[in-house]
Structure 1
């Protein structure tokens, strides 16, 4: 990769030294050389043999396409789909939009006992943490309630009950990025991987010990079957952490050496609504409040009254973990939220209809797209590269654009919530900190679209969609080379 960069840099420097001192001519000549460099790369790169590359490059100042290669061909965008979802959400919901979680009751309090049910109603908040349930329990405790003589009921009816998008691969069912979508869910950490738990496996102190397993948040909603074994320091590390289909049973198998690093995995839970209810029940117990009834799912009755509410962070802040870390669940929740707000139904069908309508405002032609979800996890989603650069050009005029731009991963910036999925890429000073772009990866697909500040001080908009790759990691190296060529202009 370094040798290739030196080669393309040498071409650029040679051309620059020979060019005449006219700004207009230099700009035109630079684009011609850029075209030559990009064509040579995509025609000779082994990783692209048998693959399809859709490339679109525009001027950020006037939107004119200055380079295109199959830019009108519909290709799988992977998580570049989130660029459309975020733009539509900012337009429809607004930067200040928050998600509310409510606790209702249909009973009365007598002698520190609530005679009736307690209802936990979710309205889509993907950021609920154990600490938020603790705060709700504290609010109930302050009302003098020590016992709830009734059931604890979770209400997720704000959205429909379809848990998975149309084309989610069955193999993603147990993963955090394939977690079920519910209007009532919870996250393990401030990365906000909604509907999942974080599992840590540490070696025991000596050979033959069972590894130490820690789960975040601490919960008995899932059962852990630990069949793994600690082996000597020079032994093989071979740990698997898997959840059974349709069950909240996590099985850990394999070997881990005595001084090995902690093995980490994020696992999507089965039925996130009940998961959230169980976390609230746990918080109530820890605050000295006993629930005598069952943990259930159901609807808040019209006669119930609100005891307390919790508000999420605003959408402008949620965009950071959503886009920087490419959170699929956030994308699908935003799709359903747009459907609920505009058409009164929190479903993929209604939400995608709203999205398609909104993006036309940015010059995107919906008739060129195939949209099946909000995250890009589907292998049926199809978007031409030229449509993505058109979107990225048009949104620059929106008042919410600073939040949109801020949410994009930044090349080579090591801080997780700055660099995001680009924190370990393009660390060369030529591009580090100068590329704001959304990455995408699904099997056989790699993509990246965004903005790059060039050596000459202009900003270019780009979209690179690579499909039918044998190795998507090699596709990312090609992307980095292409963007480096752009940065050199």
Structure 2
């Protein structure tokens, strides 16, 4: 059956088992030329290794480290190398014809800030205006600093803004923002993803005090030069927590591609699928092998059986990375994608007594994870529903978890 985002359990456990919870991605910086009095006379090369979470804060740290080590001005270009992954062209509209949704962002060997822009709207009732703060900084893109305010109910505030995101060089809000909404945020996938990293890195280099005479641009091939500095990612144990708790699709795809890139330095979906199939046969024998497309569950073709998911959960619970894996799952009704369980049933005895991953697509509702019964017995729980009305069955999956927790005599 199609498990939707529950498929991330396969990707994250395979990552833990093959790479280890302490695995790091490395963003390497090279120089082409010579440095004198803080000026690099030549090019600066930034080479990605597929870091799933190279976000604004960590880019700032990298910019600062480059400057502290002696390069404050680049008399040349900043060249970006994302060649660690061999990827087909990505069509962000292919899955659901909604390319501006951040969950449709494609993977990248140098994935910067998920290729997204975040707009924060901060009302100023006295001026009848609404301040706009955007992040990360992005070079060559005009973004308004405020928008007119409106009275009335909050409602569909995004539609009332009459936003335009189709011009790579200009974002506009031609409508109004209702004051009654309070502070709100809106995340959008940048319309020109191929030029997102160059624009953001240029802006961050300059805002950190760096100077640049040339351009920031993609190399299109592996870069070379003298090693200068290396930035480390968060450890894998933290990465899988974000993937599973918040169901981050592009982070899951980055990890899936790393399964093959970590072996030969060149990751691809096809080779990662081969590695996962081999790994599955070694770990689970004749148990039905999952059908993987990209490892995130954002797919119409990915498939797994409930029995295979159960086998994975049981093995993960007894292995050396058991704590890292279990704690990467949402605490039922408390955080991550399971928080809404508490809204559907505030008195559910499952709240706080299960660690779960949920999955939702147009015709899929799924849940899988661990539950602790009132008897103290621990259980693996799997529920998969494939049906045109699957979303309506979410309360039934909640009841499956609660029934497991209320085992009373421990006889499930």
Q: TM-score w.r.t. structure 1 length?
A: 0.75
Q: How does 1:305-320 map to 2 (within 5 A)?
A: 305-320=226-241
Q: Which residue of 1 aligns with 2:373?
A: 454
For residues 125 and 235 of structure 1, do their structure 2 counterparts lie closer, same or farther at Cα, with a shift above 3 Å needed? closer
Which has the higher Rg, Structure 1 or Structure 2?
1
Q: CA deviation at 1:202?
A: 3.5
Q: Which residue of 1 aligns with 2:105?
A: 179
1:486 pairs, out of 399, 404, 409, with 404
1:82 counterpart SS class = helix
For residues 93 and 138 of structure 1, do their structure 2 counterparts lie closer, same or farther at Cα, with a shift above 3 Å needed? same
For residues 85 and 163 of structure 1, do their structure 2 counterparts lie closer, same or farther at Cα, with a shift above 3 Å needed? farther
Q: Which residue of 1 aligns with 2:339?
A: 423
1:106 counterpart SS class = strand
Distance in 2, Cα, partners of 1:481 & 1:383? 22
2:308 is the alignment partner of 1:387: yes
For residues 454 and 288 of structure 1, do their structure 2 counterparts lie closer, same or farther at Cα, with a shift above 3 Å needed? closer
Distance in 1, Cα, partners of 2:394 & 2:239? 26
User: Mind listing any 5+ residue stretches in structure 2 that lack a counterpart?
Assistant: 408-412
1:256 counterpart SS class = strand
Q: CA deviation at 1:286?
A: 3.0
Q: CA deviation at 1:200?
A: 1.9
Q: How does 1:440-451 map to 2 (within 5 A)?
A: 440-451=359-370
Q: How does 1:43-442 map to 2 (within 5 A)?
A: 75-162=1-88, 164=90, 168-187=94-113, 194-203=114-123, 205=125, 211-220=130-139, 222-224=141-143, 229-233=148-152, 237-240=156-159, 244=165, 247=168, 250-252=171-173, 254-270=175-191, 272=193, 274-298=195-219, 299=221, 301-302=223-224, 304-363=225-284, 365=286, 369-413=290-334, 419-426=335-342, 427-428=346-347, 430-442=349-361
Contact 2:87–2:269 at 8 Å: present in 1 too?
Answer: no
Alpha-carbon displacement from aligned partner over 1:136-173 (angstroms, at most 9, x marks no partner): 33233234434311011111001124354899515242
Number of matched pairs: 401
Q: CA deviation at 1:463?
A: 0.9
Distance in 1, Cα, partners of 2:360 & 2:154? 33
1:91 counterpart SS class = helix
Q: Which residue of 1 aligns with 2:410?
A: none
Q: CA deviation at 1:81?
A: 0.4
Contact 2:139–2:203 at 8 Å: present in 1 too?
Answer: no
Distance in 1, Cα, partners of 2:56 & 2:279? 35
Q: Cα RMSD (Å) of the superposition?
A: 2.8
Q: TM-score w.r.t. structure 2 length?
A: 0.88
Q: Which residue of 2 aligns with 1:39?
A: none
Contact 1:365–1:387 at 8 Å: present in 2 too?
Answer: no
Distance in 1, Cα, partners of 2:286 & 2:143? 49
For residues 359 and 441 of structure 1, do their structure 2 counterparts lie closer, same or farther at Cα, with a shift above 3 Å needed? same
Distance in 2, Cα, partners of 1:412 & 1:395? 23
Q: Which residue of 2 aligns with 1:57?
A: none
Q: CA deviation at 1:88?
A: 0.9
Contact 1:119–1:300 at 8 Å: present in 2 too?
Answer: no
Distance in 2, Cα, partners of 1:292 & 1:332? 35
Distance in 2, Cα, partners of 1:239 & 1:301? 42
Deviates more, 1:144-153 or 1:395-404: 144-153
Distance in 2, Cα, partners of 1:271 & 1:87? 33
Deviates more, 1:349-358 or 1:221-230: 221-230
For residues 368 and 98 of structure 1, do their structure 2 counterparts lie closer, same or farther at Cα, with a shift above 3 Å needed? closer
Q: CA deviation at 1:349?
A: 1.0
Q: Where do 4+ consecutive residues of structure 1 move more than 6 Å?
A: 225-228
For residues 250 and 372 of structure 1, do their structure 2 counterparts lie closer, same or farther at Cα, with a shift above 3 Å needed? farther
Q: Which residue of 1 aligns with 2:382?
A: 463
For residues 130 and 292 of structure 1, do their structure 2 counterparts lie closer, same or farther at Cα, with a shift above 3 Å needed? same
2:295 counterpart SS class = coil
2:394 counterpart SS class = helix
For residues 107 and 343 of structure 1, do their structure 2 counterparts lie closer, same or farther at Cα, with a shift above 3 Å needed? closer
Contact 1:248–1:270 at 8 Å: present in 2 too?
Answer: no
For residues 362 and 301 of structure 1, do their structure 2 counterparts lie closer, same or farther at Cα, with a shift above 3 Å needed? closer
For residues 461 and 142 of structure 1, do their structure 2 counterparts lie closer, same or farther at Cα, with a shift above 3 Å needed? closer
Distance in 2, Cα, partners of 1:354 & 1:387? 17
Contact 1:221–1:275 at 8 Å: present in 2 too?
Answer: no
